[in-house]
Amino acid sequence: MATPRWDALSYELEPDAFDIDWDIELGKLAAAVKRARTAMAHAEQDQRRRDEAVRALTGAGVSYRDVGELLGLSFQRVAQIAKTAS
């Protein structure tokens, strides 16, 4: 016996007319997912702090090369960061 299809077409709905709630049991993987999400949040905060330091240093007149040496970045990366709006 065929399994019925319960999709947007069955109810004559547009695909963007509804939301899907996923309920996934991760079991042993839940801890790894939590650690990864925490690490990503910390990485974003660290990146913001790095970018603020680059902008402060370049704003104070320190050269891109010197900022790169201080922060362990290439002068090209320093230039990219310095030119982006916060």
**Within a domain: 31:** no
Predicted confidence (pLDDT) at residue 25 exceeds the cutoff of 70: yes
Range of the domain at 63: 49-86
Residue 78: pLDDT band by 50, 70, 90 thresholds? Answer: very high
Predicted confidence (pLDDT) at residue 75 exceeds the cutoff of 90: yes
Q: Are 64 and 58 in contact (CB under 8 A)?
A: yes
Q: What is the pLDDT of residues 27-43, one digit of tens each?
A: 889 899 999 999 999 99
**Within a domain: 20:** no
Total structural domains within the chain:
1
**Within a domain: 42:** no
pTM for the model: 0.60
For residue 54, what pLDDT is reported? 97
Predicted confidence (pLDDT) at residue 45 exceeds the cutoff of 80: yes
